[in-house]
Amino acid sequence: MKKITSIILAAIVSITSLAQSDAKLKFYPYELQLKHSFNLASLSRTSTPGVQLEITIDSITGYGEASMPPYLGESVESVMNFLSKIDPQRLADPFAFDDIHNYMDSIAPGNYAAKAAIDIALHDLTGKIMGQPWYRIYGLNAENAPHTSFTISNDTPDELERKLEESQPYSIIKVKMGVPGDRELIEWIRSHTDRPICVDVNQGWKTPEEALENIIWLSNKNVIFIEQPLNKNDVEGHKWLKKHSPLPIIADEAVQTSADIPLLSEAYDGINIKLMKCGGLHDAFRMALLAKGLGLKVMIGCMTETSCAISAAAQLAPLADWVDLDGNLLIANDKFQGIQIKNGKVTLSNLPGIGVIPLKH
């Protein structure tokens, strides 16, 4: 009895000390160097900006990251500015995700990448305190994680051959359409491999009729789904397309947080969840459950980011029908060792939290 009492007392003391601990917050810009320069018609770039973040409580450190694609309107400056307003002591109970997200929302709306950096680090930290990876805390089976896709973009014939070679370990190829030469690229890939293709249009088709014509052309080419064919605001156009399309239509730009899902459930067959769109795992998990409850397919995507944010997103992979988690494969100076892709499949580790080990650079 005495022993049990002392264990309970020790537990109370440790919980109390956790609640009273100092939280230390550190964040800094980190430029991601791209392995291959990105060649889009309008720009060519060799690096992309990011922000790295650490929260330390009782000598346990959780790692987080913000990556900021320009279309979401965040920048290194806006992320650094938002994070500088956070009082680290409001993070002292790292399990209080709801309160902490409400606190962050009270500082400013939006800023989802900045909020995701905090959220990812809190998940890493709390997973480490519990000694479990988050996919296990969610009750998911790592074996159910699907295969990930590898993006091949249009390029010179030599570069296309190289990209095809690089894509060999992956069982699914992703292609951007809605850009000049897109049908030629699909034909080129089909003449070299019969692996299935996911198509991402990035809002590039102008009318539902144009989209349907393209989708019908794609429908006998072993294409799995079409991502964001029309403008994100064209809900009616997508509703019409969903009724007529022989292939599933997935929302990406049209869906940011869980609050967007009910309106979209009749316009799409599935949603692409990204931590940087929705502010981290707290809402991403809610999005996945809500989507599944409404009968929608779930895809987990990413931005160009290190294995930190990729490994965090991968914790939800067993819930997903498809994952597109290749952002870390594009960069030369990854700061972390995280999830592995084995034979094209997302492979989760038993490491606690989000499952990353920092690398020295």
3-state SS, residue 86: coil
Q: What is the DSSP string of 256-300?
A: -SGGGHHHHTTT-SEEEE-HHHHTSHHHHHHHHHHHHHTT-EEEE
| Helices of type H across 180-234 | 182-192, 208-218
The stretch among 195-203, 262-270, 279-287, 344-352 that binds Mg ion (CB under 5 A) is: 195-203
Beta strands in 117-192 (DSSP E): 149-151, 172-176
Q: Tell me which residue has its CB nearest to Mg ion.
A: 252
Minimum CB distance to Mg ion, residue 324 (Å): 8
In the complex with Mg ion, the residue whose CB is nearer, 124 or 227, is 227
The stretch among 206-214, 230-238, 250-258, 307-315 that binds Mg ion (CB under 5 A) is: 250-258
Two tokens, residue 321: 């029908």
Residues near Mg ion (CB under 5 A), total: 3
Q: Is 74 in the site for Mg ion (CB under 5 A)?
A: no
Q: Is 200 in the site for Mg ion (CB under 5 A)?
A: yes
Q: Is 326 in the site for Mg ion (CB under 5 A)?
A: no
The DSSP H or E segment spanning 157 is helix 157-166
Minimum CB distance to Mg ion, residue 8 (Å): 51
For residue 28, list its beta bridge partners.
52
Minimum CB distance to Mg ion, residue 119 (Å): 21
Minimum CB distance to Mg ion, residue 203 (Å): 9
Q: How far, in Å, CA of 50 to CA of 22, rounded? A: 26
Q: Is 324 in the site for Mg ion (CB under 5 A)?
A: no
Count CB neighbours of 37 within 10 A: 10
Cβ-contact 191, 164 below 8 angstroms: no
The stretch among 13-21, 111-119, 252-260, 280-288 that binds Mg ion (CB under 5 A) is: 252-260
| Helices of type H across 20-111 | 76-84, 97-107
Minimum CB distance to Mg ion, residue 175 (Å): 11
Two tokens, residue 358: 């920092």
Binding mask 227-246 for Mg ion (x = CB under 5 A): x-------------------
Closest to 249 (Cα-Cα) out of 273, 230, 275, 222 = 230
R_g of the chain, CA atoms, integer Å: 21
The stretch among 28-36, 121-129, 223-231, 348-356 that binds Mg ion (CB under 5 A) is: 223-231
In the complex with Mg ion, the residue whose CB is nearer, 54 or 200, is 200
In the complex with Mg ion, the residue whose CB is nearer, 227 or 321, is 227
Contacts of 153 (CB under 8 A, 6+ apart): 39, 163, 175, 176, 185
In the complex with Mg ion, the residue whose CB is nearer, 23 or 199, is 199
Q: Among 74, 119, 252, 305, which residue interacts with Mg ion (rule: CB under 5 A)?
A: 252
Interface ranges with Mg ion (CB under 5 A): 200, 227, 252
